[in-house]
Amino acid sequence: MTAELVADCPRCPANQITFTALSSVRNKRVDHDWVTYHDVFCQCRNCLKTTVFVLRQSEYDDRKIIAEKGPLAFGDSLNNHFTIAGHVSLKDMATVQPPDSLPDEIETVFREGATCAAMQCWNAAGTMFRTALDLATRPMLPPAEAEQPEGLNSKVRRDLGLRLPWMFKHRYLASDLQELSTCIHQDGNDGAHQGTLTKEDVDDLLDFTHALLTRLYTEPAKLQAAKARRDERRAPQQAVESQLKED
Q: Which amino acid is at 3?
A: A
Confidence at 145, pLDDT banded by 50, 70, 90: confident
> Tell me: the pLDDT tens digits for 148-178?
889 999 999 999 999 999 999 999 999 999 9
* Residue 69 pLDDT: 94
* Residue 123 pLDDT: 93
Confidence at 66, pLDDT banded by 50, 70, 90: very high
* Residue 190 pLDDT: 60
* Residue 230 pLDDT: 87
Residue 204, C-beta contacts closer than 8 angstroms, at least 6 positions apart: 180, 182, 183
Q: What is the largest CA-CA distance in the chain?
A: 78
* Residue 189 pLDDT: 53
* Residue 247 pLDDT: 61
Would you say 106 and 132 are in contact if contact means Cβ atoms under 8 Å apart?
yes
* Residue 75 pLDDT: 81
Which of 31, 9, 29, 21 lies closest to 74, judged by CA?
A: 21
End-to-end Cα spacing for the chain = 66
Average pLDDT estimate for 48-64? 96
CA–CA dist 141, 149 (Å, integer): 10
* Residue 147 pLDDT: 85
Would you say 156 and 168 are in contact if contact means Cβ atoms under 8 Å apart?
no
Confidence at 89, pLDDT banded by 50, 70, 90: confident
Percentage of residues of the chain with pLDDT beyond 70: 91
pLDDT higher than 90, residue 64: yes
Mean pLDDT, the chain, rounded, equals: 90
